[in-house]
Structure 1
Amino acid sequence: MRREQKRERILTGDRVTGKLHLGHYVGSLKNRVMLQEEYDPYFILADVQALTTHFEQPELVRQHVREVALDYLAAGIDPDLSTIFIQSLVPEIAELTVYYSMFVTVNSLRHNPTVKSEAADRGYDDLYYGFLGYPVSQAADITFCKATLIPVGEDQIPHVEQTRRIVRRFNELYGTVFEEPKALVGEVPRLIGLDGKGKMSKSLGNAIQLDSSKSEVEAKLKKAVTDPARIHKHDPGHPEICPVFAYHEAFMPEESEEIREQCMQARIGCAECKQRIARRINDVLEPMRERRAYYEARPKQVEDILRSGTDQARRIAGETMQEVREAMRIDYFTGE
């Protein structure tokens, strides 16, 4: 049973477009596990928003809902402290998205930096309505449960700012219903991919998934790109351009300075460096493997967690939408 608590509410989550990886863990999941002790967190499995780019493969979205839920539970998200829910099963979010869309301009969405960046990455010349309206949908995600604190990476700040503008405009038009949410920006930089070409990403195939086995972690790191200027073991290294050193900083910060000096002085080779970080990453993943095995063996329990979380989200959504309809004067037949 989820513990009831009157604390500041957080909304965060993921588009369910694939399994989560180490970049997600470093950038958000690790912090989410800590935040659940202090706040009232709602974790959204954003399947509707996954369809903005995967509408032709709904069967994959269905599969990824379960995989990401397992990632959450394996990472340490506690369903007794947190609400994990499925976006599409809270129809009030879709209703609120429609109401917001009435007063959000197309130009403001086209100029959203995150929308522009992802559209460019995907080669979209002509934007789909759902893709362009992603920030409006996200505003509904945040406000349906009246979340006031939103943990995000720097690239997601424009979405939170868009939500703040929507909340201000709604309150101006209809009266104060919502509080403007605040962005909680993590201090950890994005984890670079194994290929060294950009951020770790499931779509780029340069990631270590959270459900990776010990041998898979070792094999992937063995092939990881390192300092291109270091040809031989006795050549001085340049840690600042080495993706593997970035993993040392993320997972072994207390030892990273020593590794830096050893690399620059050619006292450690790339193979040994990779072995050390592989051991550390496997130490981090081992308790996740144990929790994942527990939940994988109990699919009914996972389903019950998602049902319970979604029911809780719907209860909150119903209360919010009653306020919204009253404020907008569309609460018909309430006197009967």
Structure 2
Amino acid sequence: MFPDRVLSGMRPTGKLHLGHYHGVLKNWVQLQRTYPCLFMVADWHALTTSYDDVSVIEKSVWDMLIDWLAAGVDPEQAIIFIQSRVPEHAELHLLLSMVTPLSWLERVPTYKDQIEKLSHKDLGTYGFLGYPLLQAADILLYRGNLVPVGEDQVPHVEITREIGRRFNHLFGKEPDYQARAEAAIRKMPGKTGKRYAELRTRYQETGDAQALATARALLGEVQNLSQADRERLFGYLEGGGKMILPEAQPLLTEASRMPGLDGNKMSKSYGNTISLREDADTVAKKIRQMPTDPARVRRSDPGDPEKCPVWKLHEVYSDEGTRDWVTAGCKSAGIGCLECKQPVIDGVLAEQTPMFERAQPYLEDPALLRRIVDDGCERARALASETLRDVRAAMGLAYK
């Protein structure tokens, strides 16, 4: 069994907005305190849909990385790296492409959806068809078994799990596999080996899920097994072969509650965003210019917060007392729209203040950011090389 490890990434789109913060980055900051995490700039993925204009990629990468750090992603707690600086991603993608059925890629729900949404682009390329496989390689390369995603991205994790399972089925059967597994059982101390064998039999004969869970926990506690023997016994437990790649699981995250300035989802394509590090005057101006309840034509007209885009921002930034004040004041026309917007302005600026402070060192000295990325890429490559060593050996490519 592989240790819990989180892999997540973002395509470089330049400076990030508060929708990115509430939808992704806040969750990353929490995850890095609980799990070993790798956070990846997915610059190769950017090419799958934007290969016709690569001029903005480099600047977008550095702008986005500063925003990650500004949001609280900590290079002391997580590995921060750039996908294209770890060439093992490409090699694993190539090797997995040899065994991944074409039909699996064609049935990914977002494939046809994106073809329709981006009909103005020429997406009849292998890179676009194969991007779920590249995404699977990203995850499997670090044996990341936990993938933070929203519900719409769960199919990508499912295909990653299927690809890992297929690879293990095809290549996990090493010569004398059963004899090696039984020898590993004999290495287990005391009655532990006998207990493992009993649990394995119970699971394989009756499908007892509790027996499977108990046996997995038992293997995790045994101290004198090598990693290779441990992987053999995890596979032997379920009647398969040696587990070379993990079966990834989705780590479901809440959908972003951050609305845009027009009440719709905050998105650059809608032109309704507030950047993470937008200056205070611009933030205040944008919020003051937000549309409100159409019924409030005059200051004396009562309104309904539920029909006002500003209310959605109050749900993010205001406490219960402030929301009660807004509700009562709006419905009675006791407060004007500009008064209503001020607590939101104050809340956004308070959220952004530490972001400016965390970003400043990297703006003053870009070499600091480069060093963080260099270190992260080196650490990522060390993990990636371990996986590729095992994958090459399993596929008969470890000869010299």
TM-score (norm 2): 0.76
In the alignment, structure 1 residue 250 sits paired with structure 2 residue 246: no
Distance 1:187 1:319 in 2: 33
Evaluate the alpha carbon distance shift between residue 125 and residue 221 of structure 1 in structure 2; reply closer, same or farther with a 3 A threshold. Answer: same
Give 1:110's aligned residue. 106
1:222 is aligned to 2:219: no
1:200-211 maps to which residues of 2 (within 5 A)?
200-211=266-277
Report which stretch shifted further, 62-71 or 97-106: 97-106
What residue is the counterpart of 2:350 in the other structure?
A: 283
Q: Note the alpha carbon deviations across 1:75-106, whole angstroms, 9 max, x for none.
A: 11111111000000111111111222233344
| Letter paired with 1:144 | L
Structure with greater Cα Rg: 2
Give, in whole Å, the separation in 2 of the partners of 1:233 and 1:162.
55
Say which of 136, 139, 155 aligns to 2:133: 136
Distance 1:51 1:153 in 2: 23
The answer as to 2:117 corresponding to 1:121 is yes
**Following the alignment from structure 2 to structure 1, what is the Cα–Cα distance between the partners of residues 332 and 100?**
56
- 1:264-312 per-residue CA deviation (whole Å, 9 max, x = no partner) reads 4544433222221111011000010111112111211110000000010
Alpha-carbon distance in structure 2 between the residues aligned to 1:90 and 1:137: 13
Q: Deviations over 1:189-230 (max 9, x none)?
A: 35332233x421123322111121111211222222333454
1:170 Cα deviation from its structure 2 partner: 1.5
**Any residues of structure 2 matched to 1:277-316 within 5 Å, and which?**
277-316=344-383
Give a deviation string over 1:130-170, Cα, whole Å, max 9, x none. 12222111111111111111112222222112211211221
Q: Distance in 1 between matches of 2:262 and 2:100?
A: 39
Tell me: CA distance 1:307–1:220, structure 2 relative to 1, closer, same or farther (3 Å).
same
* 2:56 alignment partner, SS class: helix
Query: How do 1:22-33 and structure 2 match up within 5 A?
Result: 22-33=18-29
Question: CA separation of 1:292/1:262 partners in 2, compared to 1, >3 Å: closer, same or farther?
Answer: same
Number of aligned residues: 327
Residue equivalent to 2:89:
93
| Structure 1: 4+ residue segments shifted above 6 A | none
Please give the secondary structure, in 1, of the residue aligned with 2:292: coil
Change (3 A) 1:283 1:102: same
1:323 pairs with 2:319 = no
Change (3 A) 1:122 1:235: farther
Distance 1:126 1:29, change over 3 A: closer
Question: Residues 230 and 8 of structure 1: is their aligned pair in 2 closer, same or farther, counting only changes over 3 Å?
Answer: farther
Deviation of 1:182 after TM superposition, in Å, equals 1.6
1:111/1:300 Cα in 2 relative to 1: closer, same or farther (>3 Å)? same
Is contact 2:40–2:81 with CA below 8 Å preserved after alignment? Answer: yes
1:16–1:64 contact (8 Å) kept in structure 2: yes
What SS does structure 1 have at the residue aligned with 2:310? Answer: helix
Is 1:146 the counterpart of 2:213? The answer is: no
For 1:204 and 1:332, the matched residues in 2 are separated by 54
Q: Residue 164 of structure 1 contacts residue 180 of structure 1 at CA under 8 Å; is this kept in 2?
A: yes
- Select which of 6, 11, 16 maps to 1:10: 6
Q: Contact conserved, 2:14 with 2:63, CA < 8 A, in 1? A: yes
Unpaired runs of 5+ residues, structure 1, are 1-5
CA distance in 1, matches of 2:323, 2:63: 36
The answer to whether the Cα contact below 8 Å between 2:318 and 2:343 also exists between their aligned partners in 1 is no
1:85 is paired with a residue of what secondary structure?
Answer: strand
TM-score by length of 1: 0.89
Query: Could you tell me how far apart the structure 2 residues matched to 1:236 and 1:164 are?
Result: 54
Q: Which runs of 5+ in 2 are unaligned?
A: 173-242
Is the CA contact 2:71–2:355 (under 8 Å) kept in the aligned structure 1? yes
| Aligned-pair Cα RMSD in Å | 2.2
**Given residue 25 of structure 2, which amino acid in structure 1 is its aligned partner?**
L
3-state SS of paired residue (2:147)? strand
Structure 1 residues 232 and 12, CA gap change in structure 2 (3 angstroms): farther
- Measure, in 2, the Cα distance between the counterparts of 1:14 and 1:276: 31
The CA deviation string for residues 1-56 of structure 1, in whole angstroms up to 9 with x for no partner, is xxxxx962111121002211100111111121122111111000111111122222
Letter of the structure 2 residue corresponding to residue 305 of structure 1: I
Identity across the alignment (%): 45
User: Are the equivalent residues in 2 in contact too, given 1:44–1:86 (CA < 8 A)?
Assistant: yes
Which one of the candidate residues 58, 61, 85 is aligned to 2:57?
61
Whole-Å Cα distance in 1 between the matches of residues 315 and 298 of structure 2? 23
